Structure 1
Amino acid sequence: MQDLLRDLSRVVLAGRSLDEALGDVTDIASRGIPGAESTSITLIRGEKAFTAAYTGEMSLAADELQYDQGYGPCMDAGRGGVVLRIDDMRTEQRWPDYVSRVVGVGVLSSLSVPLPFQGTSIGALNIYSSQPAAFATPESLDAGSQVAGAIAVAVANADAHARLGEHARNMQLAMQSRAVIEQAKGVLMAQRRVDAEQAFEILREASQRYNRKLRDIAVGIVESAQTR
């Protein structure tokens, strides 16, 4: 467990895409979780579930069998926020269509651990094995929970960076809008011999009259003045 925690702590999040960080985490999970042969991360966005990262083709195949049917242990764990363990696919009764097909891709046991994020679950860590009862020990669940926590941190980090980037883009657009509005006011002040307040009122009235954004009206005035 100490090796697993050490490796998870070394995953670099800053300056990387979420896909890259999660790819590292699935690699660590496959090496560090007792019984794991192949691992994947299912993320759920609304009604859609998808595999965000995986290590080993077995996990991807098992995930996609569930997405095709719209249910299965990884999706139910992600939606319900519960840990779901299958010790033997050949005798499992809860998902009969899924388990009968997943045996065909080599899976005999699995462990799905929900991903906690802001008081809810956003998906699941999925761990697969070609051996029955591969995750029947407390060590497997403990290690899976540690990895799930690391995934939540990576997702939170990516979410924070996305919000920061969106805020920066909005600020840039606001500054650009302000600049072109000031330019348009200057044009109107020169053309109509009005002060800044009157020029802005002309822009505002035009925006209301033509049901267009103030910035779009300003752009039109500036472009018209530049073509003369």
Structure 2
Amino acid sequence: MEASLARGLARAARAMAHQPDLQATLDTVCAEAVAAVGADACSIFLLRKGTVHTAAVSTPELRAAEEAQVAAGEGPCLDVVRQRRVVDVPDLRTERRWPRWAPRMVELGWLSVLSVPLVERDRTVGSLNFVSRAAGGLGEPAADVGRLFAEHASLALTAARTEYSLVEAVGTRHAVGLAQGILMERYGLDVDRAFEAMRRCSQEGNVKLRSVAEHVVRDRRLPGGDAAVRG
């Protein structure tokens, strides 16, 4: 590996690892990826509950193109998530694999695409997608750098998602505890009955337990009012 590339990847890894939250990490990955590969723009697709969504883009101009890919249900970025392989498209003007999506990309001014899988604990969780306004703008050298960059990006995203989950868990426990205390004081419930009232409200309303707890803390009552306590 060239010394300049190694230094660039190391600097990018540090930048990605020192972000305050998950979205900031995603945005930084996109920005650093553009510089590392020499693309015109970059996006990140992530898989969540079986559905692929656009998690970040380096420029607003790219969002319409990526959302068109999701809407069409076809495209290289989706193929990467499904098949866990690098997809390099040198010229979208002659591409026939994605007849609904490729013409839309050309219409928006994007002519070549390189998509690389993002892997977390041996599981494909998304794709890192580089695009260029020039045909043939991304080739084999870019693919090699893209693979290396994706490995660093995957580690940064795994760490950010783990931290986000921990913060969410701590926040949920804190909110639930406060809400339990409020319900116990207002309705004379014990700890278990206060929790059961919130759990029942969460299930019947199809909302997260944390949302129910935050409502109790804010309004001093369950979303369903006094009747929700009696069940």
Same fold flag (TM > 0.5) = yes
CA contact (8 A) 1:59 1:126 kept: no
Tell me how far apart the structure 1 counterparts of residues 6 and 198 of structure 2 sit (CA, whole Å): 59
Tell me how far apart the structure 1 counterparts of residues 64 and 80 of structure 2 sit (CA, whole Å): 18
Call closer, same or farther: CA 1:151–1:9 in 2, change over 3 Å: closer
Q: Which residue is 2:95 aligned to?
A: 92
2:68 matches 1:56: no
Q: Which residue is 2:157 aligned to?
A: 155
Q: Indicate the SS of the match to 1:125.
A: strand
Tell me how far apart the structure 2 counterparts of residues 108 and 171 of structure 1 sit (CA, whole Å): 49
Output one character per residue of 1:66-100: Cα deviation in whole Å (capped at 9) or x when no partner. 01112211111122211111111111111111111
Measured after TM superposition, the shift of residue 159 of structure 1 is: 2.0
1:153 alignment partner AA: L
CA contact (8 A) 2:91 2:112 kept: yes
Measured after TM superposition, the shift of residue 173 of structure 1 is: 6.2
Measured after TM superposition, the shift of residue 2 of structure 1 is: 2.4
Tell me how far apart the structure 1 counterparts of residues 50 and 198 of structure 2 sit (CA, whole Å): 38
Measured after TM superposition, the shift of residue 116 of structure 1 is: 0.4
Alignment of 1:136-215 (within 5 A): 136-137=139-140, 139-169=141-171, 172=174
2:131 matches 1:128: yes
Q: CA RMSD in A?
A: 3.3
CA contact (8 A) 2:19 2:25 kept: no
CA contact (8 A) 1:79 1:122 kept: no
Output one character per residue of 1:164-193: Cα deviation in whole Å (capped at 9) or x when no partner. 22442455468669989x99xxx9xxxxxx
Q: Indicate the SS of the match to 1:40.
A: strand
2:42 matches 1:29: no
Q: Which residue is 1:197 aligned to?
A: none
CA contact (8 A) 1:39 1:54 kept: yes
Q: Which residue is 2:120 aligned to?
A: 117
**Structure 1 range deviating more: 86-95 or 146-155:** 146-155
Q: Indicate the SS of the match to 2:128.
A: strand
Tell me how far apart the structure 2 counterparts of residues 178 and 130 of structure 1 sit (CA, whole Å): 56
Measured after TM superposition, the shift of residue 15 of structure 1 is: 5.8
What is the TM-score when the length of structure 1 is the normalising length? 0.71
**Structure 1 range deviating more: 36-45 or 9-18:** 9-18
Output one character per residue of 1:105-160: Cα deviation in whole Å (capped at 9) or x when no partner. 111111000100122111111111111122222x2112111221222122211221
What is the TM-score when the length of structure 2 is the normalising length? 0.70
2:158 alignment partner AA: A
Tell me how far apart the structure 1 counterparts of residues 51 and 197 of structure 2 sit (CA, whole Å): 35
2:143 alignment partner AA: L
Q: Which residue is 1:7 aligned to?
A: 11
Q: Which residue is 2:85 aligned to?
A: 82
CA contact (8 A) 1:59 1:127 kept: no
Call closer, same or farther: CA 1:146–1:91 in 2, change over 3 Å: same
Alignment of 1:33-52 (within 5 A): 33-34=37-38, 36-52=39-55
Q: Which residue is 2:218 aligned to?
A: none
